Amino acid sequence: MIDDLLKVVPAWLNFVLTFPVSPHKALAAYSGAGQVRQELTTLATAGVGVAYLIVAVMGPPQLGSDQGSVAGFLRRIDSKLLPALLVLGFVALGIVIHLATKVYSRGYFGGAVQDSVNGMLGLSAFFVPAATALFIVSVYFLLLNTEKGTMVAGLFSVVTAVAFVIYTPLALAAVHPNTSFVKAFAGLAGGAGILYAVAYGFAWLVPKLK
């Protein structure tokens, strides 16, 4: 187990140090693979593990006692299942985005749905721990109970959202041959639209069933 860990850590560090600078370079080996790659699954799982470590080391005590926070919700989920749920969430989003491109006559990805999964796994390897760190820092600023603290926390939230909107198409374009950022962004927009429609329909239907 130690030997495996010693192999995974350097591989993850090399990946996350390359990805934010050049997603295309980080994911070049997986472009058009046509199958879900085990290496990316391992890197995504390692990213979730690092996110756990960030919360354990940096998380303020208030984060563990606030039942109304996101952390309070996550604590009700089996901790053994959480890493898999996070990775599966990214994978599911990748599949939805890939299917959404079918709506656009000029927006087909140049590859298979497995390539979209690979792109989202690569994204999660970097984004999950990075977003977790930004979230923890935001909580500390919110705990200051000052106007400036709230503004800084809000800024971090905006940075996280913008980074997701930018890096998701970049990751998808990197793993799909002959696919531009614009086409990948169109897929993200379509996927977001589908998810919003499903969520809106579900919110409308549930009260009707009571």
Cα–Cα distance between 125 and 154 in angstroms, integer?
Answer: 24
Give the residue carrying structure tokens 């374009």.
173
3-class DSSP state of 110: coil
Q: Cα(157)–Cα(207) distance, rounded to whole angstroms?
A: 31
User: What are the pLDDT tens digits along the chain (210 aa)?
Assistant: 566 667 788 999 999 999 999 999 999 999 999 899 999 999 998 998 888 888 788 877 765 555 444 444 444 544 445 556 667 777 888 888 877 776 654 556 777 889 999 999 999 999 988 888 888 888 788 777 788 888 888 888 888 889 989 999 999 999 998 888 988 888 888 777 777 787 788 777 767 665
Does residue 41 contact residue 87 with C-beta atoms inside 8 Å?
A: yes
**Residue written as token pair 């721990």:** 129
Cα distances (angstroms) measured from residue 6 to each of 10, 11, 13, 40, 124:
7, 9, 11, 16, 20
Name the residue ranges covered by the structural domains of the chain.
Answer: 2-19+29-209
CA distance linking residue 168 with residue 94, whole number of Å:
9
CB 100 within 8 A of CB 195: no
Q: Which residues contact 165 (CB under 8 A, 6 or more apart)?
A: 188
Taking residue 21's Cβ as centre, other Cβ atoms within 10 Å add up to 8
